[in-house]
Homo-oligomer: A and B are copies of this chain.
Amino acid sequence: MTSTTLSIQDLGQRIEAIFTRSGMNGPQAGAMARVLTAGERDHCKSHGIYRIEGTLRTVKAGKVNPVAVPVVTPDDGTALVRVDAQGGFANAAFELALPELAARAKKLGLAAMVINDCTHLAALWPEVEAVAAHGLAAMVMCPSYATVAPTGGKDPLLGTNPFAFGWPRPDSDPYVFDFATSVAARGEVELHRRAGKQLPEGWALDKDGHPTTDPEAALAGAMLPFGGHKGSAISTMIELLAGIMIGDLTSPEVLDYLGSTTLAPRHGELILAFSPEAFARGRAGDPFARAEMLFGAITGQGARLPSQRRFRARAESAAAGITLSADEIAQLERFQTLGLDAV
Contacts and interface: CB of A to CB of B under 8 A. Distances in A.
Contacts of A175: 236, 240
A311 interface: no
Interface stretch (A19-27, A118-126, A295-303, A323-331): A295-303
A194 interface: no
B279 A153 contact: no
Secondary structure at the A interface, as helix, strand, loop or mixed, is mixed
Interface string A220-253: 0000001111111110110111001111101010
B229 A153 contact: no
B247 A284 contact: yes
B302 A154 contact: yes
A109 B79 contact: yes
A152 B303 contact: yes
A278 B237 contact: no
Interface residues of A, number: 72
A240 B227 CA distance: 21
Contacts of A137: 240-241, 245
A298 B230 contact: no
A272 to B, nearest CB: 8
Contacts of A285: 244, 247
A291 B240 contact: yes
Interface string A287-326: 1001100100110011110100000000000000000000
A302 B247 contact: no
Nearest to A179: B230
Contacts of A213: none
Given A150-B301, A152-B304, A278 B244 contact: no
16 contacts: A79-B111, A80-B109, A110-B110, A110-B272, A150-B301, A153-B298, A153-B301, A175-B236, A227-B230, A234-B234, A236-B298, A246-B280, A247-B279, A247-B282, A250-B294, A252-B297
Interface of A: 77-80, 107-112, 114, 116, 137, 139, 149-155, 157, 163, 165, 167, 175, 177, 179, 181, 226-234, 236-237, 239-241, 244-248, 250, 252, 272, 274, 276, 278-285, 287, 290-291, 294, 297-298, 301-304, 306
In the A-B complex, the 4 residue pairs with the closest CB atoms: A247-B283, A227-B227, A153-B303, A152-B303
